[in-house]
A and B are shown apart, each in its own frame.
Chain A
């Protein structure tokens, strides 16, 4: 238990594009212990999904990934060959994707797709795999589980499909599960159910989970740790308590102003917005990426930005020692 399950240091992702290189993710660090839930929050395009795909080794061929350290339970993922990665994927680390409608293969039955991972990684027979599939379908709250096995994805609703995706990810009882905005594509009423289910199952099976989302309300309810991502960098990381109650980075504070908080936000008050647009990340990014939208930007923001550590496990990057907290009027 001393060493974390997952340790990432200086992860960088570059994508070659028409006019040069898109520095999509730049030098991000985080640790994750067994049974812990890390939420990565940020806007679309901030590199959250790329980060999760990079962990799974599922980036496309043209995309370049480098890291000074990326270890899963002592296995060096930066040096792992494709065979090692294949053995890990679906067995010890699993992933749930954003789009349940298109993430299941239309040509095969639910049962076939559920059993596949178990048959691949474990030395079990078809009957055992089938039994496990039924067990998990029941666990994710699907009724008439046995008859579902012979159904095709198009016969299921979006919510049911995402439950199937969750069951599929859990087939081999992975130690790490990565969920990339698992509820974004679903109806609001179903979102909460699915998320609850995912988190409960994670706790029950003592899985570490990386939950990628842009929904701060979700984060507040489920996260042990929070990492705030902006334009390819982690601008602030810390425990949920630290990030929510003592946000340091101007962007984190901006994000928190965008959601109503019980007891803090008055009825009828306008919620905050963050004006401006995310910068272009093609061809060498220097300085703070948030400076173009930041109220407290100064000339020094164009230089290298220091890492600051206001408390144990709480880190952020800003030229201002306290993130310029004092200058802000309390909302």
Chain B
């Protein structure tokens, strides 16, 4: 008996495997996720471009020049004076693209924030209180989903007059459905956990439980939906502006630039290709980040 215990202490088979800490594992998952890293880096660059637009843009994005209309980009035989050429009014394409990043990002962030607040409030209330509140929220989500977004947004913007502010608010008021659906489901999951029951048992008030027990535990899902809805809002703004009923000229919106380039598409396809490609890259980066965050924070990856 004694020989067994003394001998076994140094047995390699018994050595406990010292695993990484949860923090280390999270970091490893984040930095090991290719899509997430690509998304974060590309989006980071575009955000910096938007912030430092005045420093980066070679020209005034609104300055027209009748002498320098429809100059081709440098890779199609143009000059470095206008690296990406000029549009039909002689405005520098690169400068308009750089300022366009501001428009797209602002729309994405503000619209997603507005809809995030609305949708989260509805979803959390439905999930936490259940019963009649839940029934009403489910009904509202159904009503919202039934309305064709593009059509309603177009109609409302057309009636109220297209401006950046109107487009942002209209999109913000329309895109809360996914927030409500996801937050409702997440709250339902969290509501049954022991720590919520414990908080109730010690007599915490409902707002306190919602803010300090529920919200922190559904925040990761909120961030994921936030990024995906940002992308959604950016695409919708571009579509509205493309249809001529969103942000109005001369604002440098990428959707508007595609729309203006469309008339010249037969001879100068780059005027359509370039702004669309930038839009595609931005939305792709945001989606990659959102998908990556979902993968990284998903509970099933925490083993």
Contacts and interface: CB of A to CB of B under 8 A. Distances in A.
Asked whether A and B interact, the reply is yes
Interface in B1-31: 1, 3-4, 7-8, 11, 13-14, 17
Contacts of A302: 11
B14 A292 contact: yes
A279 B4 contact: no
A291 B9 CA distance: 12
A299 B6 CA distance: 10
Nearest to A294: B4
B7 A297 contact: yes
Given A279-B13, A280-B13, A292-B13, A299 B1 contact: no
Interface string A295-322: 1111100100000000000000000000
A287 B14 CA distance: 13
15 contacts: A279-B13, A279-B14, A285-B13, A287-B13, A289-B13, A291-B11, A292-B11, A294-B4, A295-B4, A297-B3, A297-B7, A297-B8, A298-B4, A299-B7, A302-B11
A265 B3 CA distance: 30
Interface residues of A, number: 14
Main secondary structure of the interface of A (DSSP, over half): loop
B3 A298 contact: yes
Give the 4 A-B residue pairs with the shortest CB-CB distance, closest first: A297-B4, A279-B13, A292-B14, A299-B7
Contacts of A280: 13, 17
A291 B3 contact: no
A291 B17 contact: no
Contacts of B1: 295
A287 B11 CA distance: 11
B64 to A, nearest CB: 61
Interface of B: 1, 3-4, 7-8, 11, 13-14, 17
A251 to B, nearest CB: 14
Interface of A: 279-280, 285, 287, 289, 291-292, 294-299, 302
A292 B7 CA distance: 10
Contacts of A297: 3-4, 7-8
Contacts of B11: 291-292, 302
Nearest to B1: A295
A302 B14 CA distance: 12
Contact of A298 (B7, B14, B17): B7
Nearest to B4: A297
B6 to A, nearest CB: 10
A302 B9 CA distance: 13
A280 B13 CA distance: 7
A291 B14 CA distance: 10
Contacts of A285: 13
Nearest to B3: A298
Given A296-B4, A299-B7, A302-B11, 16 more contacts: A279-B13, A279-B14, A280-B17, A285-B13, A287-B13, A291-B11, A291-B13, A292-B13, A294-B4, A295-B1, A297-B3, A297-B4, A297-B7, A297-B8, A298-B3, A298-B7
A279 B4 CA distance: 16
A298 B7 CA distance: 7
Contacts of A294: 4
Contacts of B8: 291-292, 297
Contacts of A291: 8, 11, 13
A280 B18 CA distance: 13
Contacts of B13: 279-280, 285, 287, 289, 291-292
Nearest to A286: B13
Contacts of B14: 279, 292
A104 B41 CA distance: 47
A302 B13 CA distance: 9
Contacts of A299: 3, 7
B12 to A, nearest CB: 9
Contacts of A279: 13-14
B10 to A, nearest CB: 10
A280 B16 CA distance: 9
B302 to A, nearest CB: 14
Nearest to B19: A19
Nearest to B16: A280
B13 to A, nearest CB: 5
A296 B1 CA distance: 6
A298 B1 CA distance: 9
A296 B89 CA distance: 93
Most buried by A among B3, B8, B13: B13
